[in-house]
Structure 1
Amino acid sequence: TWCATRCGCARCSAKTSTSLASSMTTTTMTMMTTTATTTATDSTSTTDSTSTTDSTSTTASTSTTDSSSTSATETTTETGTTTGGPVCYAEPIDGEPGFDVEVVAAGFDRPLLVRADPTDPERLFVVEQGGHVKILEPGMDQAPMEDFLFVDVKNAVPATIGPEQGLLGFAFHPDYPTDPRVYINYNPAGGGATPTYVDEFTVDANDPNKVDPNSRR
Protein backbone atom coordinates (compact mmCIF):
# COMPACT_ATOMS: atom_id res chain seq x y z
CA THR A 1 0.00 0.00 0.00
CA TRP A 2 1.00 3.60 -0.44
CA CYS A 3 1.71 6.02 2.37
CA ALA A 4 -0.96 8.59 3.06
CA THR A 5 1.06 11.31 1.30
CA ARG A 6 2.83 9.10 -1.28
CA CYS A 7 6.18 10.34 -0.12
CA GLY A 8 9.56 9.09 -1.22
CA CYS A 9 9.99 6.62 1.57
CA ALA A 10 11.18 3.09 1.04
CA ARG A 11 7.61 1.73 1.01
CA CYS A 12 6.48 4.15 -1.71
CA SER A 13 9.62 3.58 -3.80
CA ALA A 14 9.04 -0.19 -3.71
CA LYS A 15 5.39 0.27 -4.74
CA THR A 16 6.36 2.51 -7.64
CA SER A 17 8.89 -0.04 -8.94
CA THR A 18 6.31 -2.81 -8.73
CA SER A 19 3.70 -0.76 -10.64
CA LEU A 20 6.15 0.13 -13.41
CA ALA A 21 7.23 -3.50 -13.77
CA SER A 22 3.61 -4.63 -13.96
CA SER A 23 2.78 -1.94 -16.52
CA MET A 24 5.75 -2.92 -18.71
CA THR A 25 4.80 -6.59 -18.50
CA THR A 26 1.21 -5.82 -19.56
CA THR A 27 2.41 -3.65 -22.46
CA THR A 28 4.83 -6.34 -23.60
CA MET A 29 2.12 -9.02 -23.52
CA THR A 30 -0.29 -6.77 -25.41
CA MET A 31 2.33 -6.16 -28.11
CA MET A 32 3.04 -9.88 -28.35
CA THR A 33 -0.69 -10.62 -28.64
CA THR A 34 -1.08 -7.98 -31.35
CA THR A 35 1.91 -9.35 -33.24
CA ALA A 36 0.62 -12.91 -32.96
CA THR A 37 -2.83 -11.83 -34.12
CA THR A 38 -1.41 -9.92 -37.06
CA THR A 39 0.81 -12.81 -38.01
CA ALA A 40 -2.04 -15.28 -37.75
CA THR A 41 -4.29 -13.00 -39.78
CA ASP A 42 -1.71 -12.47 -42.48
CA SER A 43 -0.88 -16.15 -42.57
CA THR A 44 -4.53 -17.14 -42.78
CA SER A 45 -5.27 -14.58 -45.45
CA THR A 46 -2.31 -15.69 -47.52
CA THR A 47 -3.11 -19.34 -47.07
CA ASP A 48 -6.81 -18.89 -47.85
CA SER A 49 -6.10 -16.77 -50.89
CA THR A 50 -3.58 -19.22 -52.26
CA SER A 51 -5.76 -22.19 -51.42
CA THR A 52 -8.87 -20.63 -52.99
CA THR A 53 -7.09 -19.60 -56.14
CA ASP A 54 -5.38 -22.93 -56.62
CA SER A 55 -8.50 -24.92 -55.77
CA THR A 56 -10.77 -22.93 -58.06
CA SER A 57 -8.35 -22.95 -60.92
CA THR A 58 -7.55 -26.62 -60.64
CA THR A 59 -11.13 -27.75 -60.08
CA ALA A 60 -12.62 -25.69 -62.90
CA SER A 61 -9.97 -26.77 -65.33
CA THR A 62 -10.21 -30.42 -64.43
CA SER A 63 -14.02 -30.47 -64.35
CA THR A 64 -14.46 -28.72 -67.70
CA THR A 65 -11.86 -30.78 -69.48
CA ASP A 66 -12.93 -34.13 -68.07
CA SER A 67 -16.67 -33.50 -68.59
CA SER A 68 -16.36 -32.36 -72.20
CA SER A 69 -13.93 -35.09 -73.08
CA THR A 70 -15.96 -37.87 -71.47
CA SER A 71 -19.30 -36.70 -72.91
CA ALA A 72 -17.98 -36.37 -76.43
CA THR A 73 -16.25 -39.72 -76.26
CA GLU A 74 -19.28 -41.59 -74.91
CA THR A 75 -21.71 -40.00 -77.37
CA THR A 76 -19.53 -40.68 -80.36
CA THR A 77 -18.72 -44.23 -79.31
CA GLU A 78 -22.17 -45.41 -78.23
CA THR A 79 -24.46 -43.57 -80.65
CA GLY A 80 -22.18 -43.05 -83.62
CA THR A 81 -22.95 -39.31 -83.65
CA THR A 82 -21.40 -36.14 -82.32
CA THR A 83 -24.66 -34.28 -81.70
CA GLY A 84 -24.11 -34.21 -77.98
CA GLY A 85 -27.50 -35.84 -77.35
CA PRO A 86 -28.15 -38.31 -74.52
CA VAL A 87 -27.00 -41.87 -74.92
CA CYS A 88 -29.80 -44.42 -75.36
CA TYR A 89 -29.20 -47.52 -73.27
CA ALA A 90 -32.36 -49.38 -74.39
CA GLU A 91 -31.71 -52.87 -75.63
CA PRO A 92 -33.18 -53.88 -79.01
CA ILE A 93 -36.03 -56.38 -78.90
CA ASP A 94 -35.83 -59.49 -81.02
CA GLY A 95 -38.59 -60.27 -83.48
CA GLU A 96 -40.80 -58.32 -85.86
CA PRO A 97 -42.89 -55.25 -84.93
CA GLY A 98 -46.38 -55.97 -83.65
CA PHE A 99 -48.10 -54.28 -86.59
CA ASP A 100 -48.17 -54.53 -90.36
CA VAL A 101 -49.42 -52.59 -93.38
CA GLU A 102 -52.05 -54.22 -95.54
CA VAL A 103 -53.82 -52.88 -98.62
CA VAL A 104 -57.53 -53.42 -98.02
CA ALA A 105 -58.85 -51.91 -101.24
CA ALA A 106 -57.70 -49.70 -104.09
CA GLY A 107 -59.30 -47.14 -106.37
CA PHE A 108 -60.37 -44.50 -103.86
CA ASP A 109 -59.77 -40.77 -104.45
CA ARG A 110 -58.01 -39.21 -101.46
CA PRO A 111 -59.62 -41.39 -98.78
CA LEU A 112 -59.12 -39.76 -95.40
CA LEU A 113 -61.58 -41.44 -93.06
CA VAL A 114 -63.18 -44.86 -92.58
CA ARG A 115 -66.18 -45.63 -90.38
CA ALA A 116 -67.38 -49.16 -89.67
CA ASP A 117 -71.09 -49.89 -89.89
CA PRO A 118 -72.34 -50.02 -86.26
CA THR A 119 -74.20 -53.24 -87.09
CA ASP A 120 -71.42 -54.88 -89.14
CA PRO A 121 -67.74 -53.99 -88.43
CA GLU A 122 -66.67 -55.55 -91.77
CA ARG A 123 -68.83 -53.11 -93.74
CA LEU A 124 -66.81 -49.92 -94.15
CA PHE A 125 -67.91 -46.40 -95.07
CA VAL A 126 -64.97 -44.69 -96.80
CA VAL A 127 -64.88 -40.88 -96.91
CA GLU A 128 -63.16 -39.24 -99.90
CA GLN A 129 -61.98 -35.66 -99.65
CA GLY A 130 -63.57 -34.84 -103.01
CA GLY A 131 -67.11 -35.16 -101.59
CA HIS A 132 -67.96 -38.87 -101.85
CA VAL A 133 -68.80 -41.48 -99.22
CA LYS A 134 -68.64 -45.05 -100.55
CA ILE A 135 -69.48 -48.37 -98.94
CA LEU A 136 -66.84 -51.10 -99.08
CA GLU A 137 -68.68 -54.35 -98.55
CA PRO A 138 -66.92 -57.37 -96.97
CA GLY A 139 -64.71 -59.14 -99.51
CA MET A 140 -64.39 -56.16 -101.88
CA ASP A 141 -60.88 -54.97 -102.82
CA GLN A 142 -61.84 -52.15 -105.22
CA ALA A 143 -63.71 -48.92 -104.61
CA PRO A 144 -67.33 -49.20 -105.78
CA MET A 145 -68.67 -46.85 -108.45
CA GLU A 146 -71.87 -46.03 -106.55
CA ASP A 147 -71.98 -43.38 -103.82
CA PHE A 148 -73.64 -43.76 -100.47
CA LEU A 149 -73.54 -39.97 -100.29
CA PHE A 150 -72.23 -37.12 -102.42
CA VAL A 151 -71.88 -33.42 -101.70
CA ASP A 152 -70.32 -30.69 -103.83
CA VAL A 153 -67.33 -29.41 -101.92
CA LYS A 154 -64.36 -27.10 -102.25
CA ASN A 155 -61.20 -28.89 -103.36
CA ALA A 156 -63.21 -31.48 -105.30
CA VAL A 157 -60.62 -31.65 -108.09
CA PRO A 158 -57.85 -34.21 -107.39
CA ALA A 159 -55.21 -31.88 -108.86
CA THR A 160 -55.50 -29.66 -105.79
CA ILE A 161 -54.36 -32.27 -103.28
CA GLY A 162 -52.91 -30.69 -100.16
CA PRO A 163 -55.27 -28.11 -98.63
CA GLU A 164 -57.37 -29.32 -95.73
CA GLN A 165 -60.62 -28.50 -97.47
CA GLY A 166 -63.42 -30.61 -98.90
CA LEU A 167 -65.33 -33.44 -97.23
CA LEU A 168 -63.51 -33.96 -93.94
CA GLY A 169 -65.85 -35.74 -91.54
CA PHE A 170 -68.57 -38.39 -91.32
CA ALA A 171 -70.48 -39.87 -88.37
CA PHE A 172 -73.49 -42.03 -87.58
CA HIS A 173 -76.26 -41.00 -85.24
CA PRO A 174 -75.63 -42.57 -81.79
CA ASP A 175 -78.81 -44.67 -82.17
CA TYR A 176 -78.08 -45.81 -85.72
CA PRO A 177 -79.71 -47.75 -87.39
CA THR A 178 -82.79 -47.27 -85.21
CA ASP A 179 -82.33 -43.60 -85.99
CA PRO A 180 -80.96 -43.80 -89.57
CA ARG A 181 -79.36 -40.37 -89.71
CA VAL A 182 -75.75 -39.59 -90.66
CA TYR A 183 -73.72 -36.37 -90.52
CA ILE A 184 -70.95 -34.87 -92.60
CA ASN A 185 -68.48 -32.05 -92.06
CA TYR A 186 -67.25 -30.20 -95.15
CA ASN A 187 -66.24 -26.95 -96.88
CA PRO A 188 -68.75 -26.01 -99.58
CA ALA A 189 -67.63 -25.29 -103.13
CA GLY A 190 -66.78 -21.69 -103.96
CA GLY A 191 -63.86 -19.32 -104.29
CA GLY A 192 -62.04 -17.64 -101.45
CA ALA A 193 -62.34 -18.43 -97.77
CA THR A 194 -65.25 -20.73 -96.95
CA PRO A 195 -66.87 -21.77 -93.67
CA THR A 196 -67.22 -25.29 -92.34
CA TYR A 197 -70.67 -26.85 -92.70
CA VAL A 198 -72.28 -29.76 -90.87
CA ASP A 199 -75.15 -31.42 -92.77
CA GLU A 200 -77.56 -34.15 -91.80
CA PHE A 201 -78.90 -36.89 -94.08
CA THR A 202 -81.29 -39.79 -93.54
CA VAL A 203 -80.66 -43.19 -95.08
CA ASP A 204 -83.12 -43.99 -97.84
CA ALA A 205 -85.94 -46.11 -96.42
CA ASN A 206 -85.99 -48.23 -99.59
CA ASP A 207 -82.21 -48.60 -100.05
CA PRO A 208 -79.80 -48.88 -97.08
CA ASN A 209 -76.86 -48.32 -99.44
CA LYS A 210 -77.56 -44.63 -100.01
CA VAL A 211 -78.99 -41.57 -98.33
CA ASP A 212 -82.14 -39.77 -99.36
CA PRO A 213 -80.82 -36.56 -100.98
CA ASN A 214 -84.06 -34.77 -100.14
CA SER A 215 -83.50 -35.37 -96.43
CA ARG A 216 -80.49 -33.06 -96.34
CA ARG A 217 -80.60 -30.24 -93.87
Structure 2
Amino acid sequence: MQAEFWHNCWQQQRIGFHQSEIHPLLPVLCSQLSWDKSGAIFAPLSGKSLDLWWLSQHGKVIGAELSELACQQFYQQQGQDYMVQSQHKFKRFSHPAVDIWQGDYFALAPEQLGQVGLIYDRAALIALPRQMRIDYVQQLKQLCPGSVCMVLLSLEYPQHELAGPPFSVTEQEVRQLFDFAASIELVAVRNLTGRPFAQRQFNLSQLLEKAFVIYW
Protein backbone atom coordinates (compact mmCIF):
# COMPACT_ATOMS: atom_id res chain seq x y z
CA MET A 1 0.00 0.00 0.00
CA GLN A 2 1.58 3.23 -1.19
CA ALA A 3 1.53 6.65 0.45
CA GLU A 4 -0.26 7.99 -2.64
CA PHE A 5 -3.34 5.96 -1.67
CA TRP A 6 -3.73 7.86 1.59
CA HIS A 7 -2.89 11.23 0.05
CA ASN A 8 -5.67 10.64 -2.47
CA CYS A 9 -8.11 9.70 0.29
CA TRP A 10 -7.53 13.03 2.02
CA GLN A 11 -7.49 15.08 -1.17
CA GLN A 12 -10.80 13.56 -2.26
CA GLN A 13 -12.16 13.56 1.31
CA ARG A 14 -12.74 9.80 1.19
CA ILE A 15 -12.25 9.64 4.94
CA GLY A 16 -15.01 7.33 6.06
CA PHE A 17 -12.59 6.06 8.72
CA HIS A 18 -12.73 9.42 10.55
CA GLN A 19 -14.99 9.51 13.60
CA SER A 20 -16.92 12.70 14.33
CA GLU A 21 -16.78 12.04 18.09
CA ILE A 22 -14.22 10.60 20.45
CA HIS A 23 -14.15 6.84 20.62
CA PRO A 24 -16.71 5.66 23.21
CA LEU A 25 -14.23 3.27 24.82
CA LEU A 26 -11.48 5.85 25.26
CA PRO A 27 -12.57 7.44 28.58
CA VAL A 28 -13.36 4.03 30.07
CA LEU A 29 -10.05 2.51 29.05
CA CYS A 30 -7.94 5.46 30.17
CA SER A 31 -9.54 5.46 33.60
CA GLN A 32 -8.25 1.90 34.09
CA LEU A 33 -4.74 2.34 32.71
CA SER A 34 -1.45 2.76 34.49
CA TRP A 35 1.30 4.55 32.60
CA ASP A 36 4.21 6.91 33.18
CA LYS A 37 2.55 10.30 32.82
CA SER A 38 5.91 12.05 32.63
CA GLY A 39 6.17 10.64 29.10
CA ALA A 40 4.27 11.78 26.04
CA ILE A 41 1.19 10.15 24.54
CA PHE A 42 2.01 8.91 21.04
CA ALA A 43 -0.69 8.47 18.38
CA PRO A 44 0.69 6.86 15.19
CA LEU A 45 -1.18 7.39 11.90
CA SER A 46 -3.32 9.87 13.79
CA GLY A 47 -5.33 11.51 10.99
CA LYS A 48 -7.40 14.33 12.45
CA SER A 49 -8.84 12.23 15.26
CA LEU A 50 -10.67 14.12 17.98
CA ASP A 51 -9.34 11.52 20.39
CA LEU A 52 -6.05 13.42 20.44
CA TRP A 53 -7.68 16.51 21.94
CA TRP A 54 -9.31 14.36 24.62
CA LEU A 55 -6.02 12.60 25.38
CA SER A 56 -4.28 15.96 25.77
CA GLN A 57 -6.11 16.34 29.10
CA HIS A 58 -3.76 13.62 30.35
CA GLY A 59 -0.44 14.76 28.92
CA LYS A 60 1.39 16.06 25.90
CA VAL A 61 0.21 14.29 22.74
CA ILE A 62 2.44 13.62 19.74
CA GLY A 63 0.84 12.42 16.55
CA ALA A 64 2.37 11.03 13.38
CA GLU A 65 0.44 11.56 10.15
CA LEU A 66 1.28 11.20 6.47
CA SER A 67 -1.17 13.78 5.11
CA GLU A 68 -0.42 17.48 5.47
CA LEU A 69 -4.08 18.23 4.74
CA ALA A 70 -5.17 16.03 7.66
CA CYS A 71 -2.81 17.91 9.99
CA GLN A 72 -4.12 21.28 8.85
CA GLN A 73 -7.74 20.23 9.29
CA PHE A 74 -7.00 18.77 12.71
CA TYR A 75 -6.17 22.21 14.10
CA GLN A 76 -8.33 24.41 11.88
CA GLN A 77 -11.58 22.56 12.52
CA GLN A 78 -11.12 23.15 16.25
CA GLY A 79 -10.15 26.80 15.75
CA GLN A 80 -6.67 26.15 17.13
CA ASP A 81 -3.57 28.13 16.17
CA TYR A 82 -0.44 26.17 15.33
CA MET A 83 3.06 26.60 13.99
CA VAL A 84 4.76 24.60 11.24
CA GLN A 85 8.47 24.00 10.87
CA SER A 86 10.30 21.88 8.32
CA GLN A 87 12.64 19.40 10.00
CA HIS A 88 14.54 16.97 7.77
CA LYS A 89 11.97 14.77 6.01
CA PHE A 90 9.09 16.06 8.13
CA LYS A 91 6.96 19.06 8.87
CA ARG A 92 6.38 19.56 12.56
CA PHE A 93 3.00 20.99 13.50
CA SER A 94 3.37 22.52 16.97
CA HIS A 95 0.67 23.34 19.52
CA PRO A 96 0.80 23.53 23.34
CA ALA A 97 -1.33 20.39 23.70
CA VAL A 98 -0.79 18.35 20.53
CA ASP A 99 2.19 18.19 18.16
CA ILE A 100 2.09 16.23 14.91
CA TRP A 101 4.99 15.01 12.83
CA GLN A 102 3.77 15.09 9.24
CA GLY A 103 5.60 12.63 7.01
CA ASP A 104 6.46 8.95 6.73
CA TYR A 105 5.88 7.15 10.03
CA PHE A 106 8.53 4.61 9.06
CA ALA A 107 11.13 7.40 8.82
CA LEU A 108 10.52 8.69 12.36
CA ALA A 109 13.40 8.56 14.83
CA PRO A 110 13.10 8.00 18.60
CA GLU A 111 14.55 11.44 19.38
CA GLN A 112 11.61 13.06 17.58
CA LEU A 113 9.24 11.61 20.17
CA GLY A 114 11.37 11.61 23.29
CA GLN A 115 10.08 9.54 26.19
CA VAL A 116 6.68 7.97 25.52
CA GLY A 117 4.46 6.69 28.33
CA LEU A 118 1.31 5.77 26.38
CA ILE A 119 0.68 4.71 22.78
CA TYR A 120 -2.82 5.07 21.36
CA ASP A 121 -3.66 3.14 18.18
CA ARG A 122 -7.26 3.75 17.19
CA ALA A 123 -7.12 2.66 13.55
CA ALA A 124 -3.45 2.52 12.57
CA LEU A 125 -2.72 -1.21 12.61
CA ILE A 126 -5.96 -2.08 10.80
CA ALA A 127 -5.16 0.45 8.05
CA LEU A 128 -2.15 -1.60 6.93
CA PRO A 129 -1.79 -4.86 4.97
CA ARG A 130 -0.06 -7.84 6.56
CA GLN A 131 3.63 -7.11 5.85
CA MET A 132 3.24 -3.44 6.71
CA ARG A 133 1.65 -4.44 10.02
CA ILE A 134 4.80 -6.37 10.86
CA ASP A 135 6.96 -3.37 9.89
CA TYR A 136 4.66 -1.01 11.80
CA VAL A 137 5.08 -2.91 15.07
CA GLN A 138 8.84 -3.23 14.63
CA GLN A 139 9.09 0.53 14.11
CA LEU A 140 6.84 1.13 17.11
CA LYS A 141 9.15 -0.95 19.30
CA GLN A 142 12.17 1.06 18.10
CA LEU A 143 10.43 4.38 18.69
CA CYS A 144 9.17 3.38 22.14
CA PRO A 145 11.73 0.88 23.44
CA GLY A 146 10.43 0.20 26.90
CA SER A 147 8.26 0.84 29.94
CA VAL A 148 5.29 1.81 27.83
CA CYS A 149 1.55 1.12 27.82
CA MET A 150 -0.38 0.76 24.56
CA VAL A 151 -4.09 0.91 23.83
CA LEU A 152 -4.85 -0.92 20.58
CA LEU A 153 -8.24 -1.00 18.89
CA SER A 154 -8.59 -3.63 16.16
CA LEU A 155 -11.32 -5.05 13.93
CA GLU A 156 -12.14 -8.68 13.22
CA TYR A 157 -14.34 -9.86 10.34
CA PRO A 158 -14.17 -12.57 7.65
CA GLN A 159 -11.33 -11.14 5.55
CA HIS A 160 -12.68 -12.64 2.31
CA GLU A 161 -15.80 -10.49 2.67
CA LEU A 162 -13.92 -7.19 2.43
CA ALA A 163 -10.66 -6.32 0.73
CA GLY A 164 -9.75 -3.57 3.19
CA PRO A 165 -8.70 -1.18 4.50
CA PRO A 166 -9.71 -1.48 7.23
CA PHE A 167 -8.18 -4.93 7.43
CA SER A 168 -9.21 -7.71 9.76
CA VAL A 169 -6.59 -8.28 12.46
CA THR A 170 -7.36 -11.24 14.68
CA GLU A 171 -6.52 -11.56 18.34
CA GLN A 172 -4.07 -14.32 17.42
CA GLU A 173 -2.23 -11.98 15.06
CA VAL A 174 -2.13 -9.22 17.66
CA ARG A 175 -0.49 -11.62 20.12
CA GLN A 176 2.00 -12.74 17.47
CA LEU A 177 2.91 -9.19 16.45
CA PHE A 178 3.49 -8.14 20.04
CA ASP A 179 5.09 -11.35 21.26
CA PHE A 180 7.87 -9.27 22.85
CA ALA A 181 5.41 -7.57 25.23
CA ALA A 182 5.27 -8.29 28.95
CA SER A 183 1.47 -8.52 28.84
CA ILE A 184 -1.34 -8.41 26.29
CA GLU A 185 -4.86 -8.20 27.66
CA LEU A 186 -8.13 -8.17 25.73
CA VAL A 187 -10.18 -5.69 27.74
CA ALA A 188 -13.29 -5.00 25.65
CA VAL A 189 -15.24 -6.32 22.67
CA ARG A 190 -17.90 -4.40 20.75
CA ASN A 191 -20.17 -6.24 18.32
CA LEU A 192 -20.58 -3.85 15.38
CA THR A 193 -22.25 -6.36 13.06
CA GLY A 194 -24.86 -4.49 11.03
CA ARG A 195 -23.78 -1.18 12.57
CA PRO A 196 -21.61 1.57 11.12
CA PHE A 197 -17.88 1.69 11.74
CA ALA A 198 -16.99 5.40 11.92
CA GLN A 199 -18.72 6.87 8.85
CA ARG A 200 -18.88 3.62 6.88
CA GLN A 201 -21.36 0.78 6.69
CA PHE A 202 -20.01 -2.66 5.79
CA ASN A 203 -22.04 -5.60 4.55
CA LEU A 204 -20.30 -8.20 6.70
CA SER A 205 -21.58 -11.36 8.37
CA GLN A 206 -19.67 -10.38 11.53
CA LEU A 207 -17.76 -7.29 12.63
CA LEU A 208 -16.10 -7.12 16.03
CA GLU A 209 -14.04 -4.31 17.48
CA LYS A 210 -11.57 -5.46 20.13
CA ALA A 211 -9.62 -3.32 22.58
CA PHE A 212 -6.27 -4.51 23.88
CA VAL A 213 -4.02 -3.09 26.57
CA ILE A 214 -0.39 -4.01 25.98
CA TYR A 215 2.61 -3.35 28.23
CA TRP A 216 6.26 -3.74 27.40
Short-chain TM bin: under 0.3
Instruction: Give the TM-score, by structure 1 length.
Output: 0.19
Higher relative contact order (CA 8 A, sep 6+): 2
Instruction: Give the TM-score, by structure 2 length.
Output: 0.19
Higher helix share: 1
Higher strand share: 2
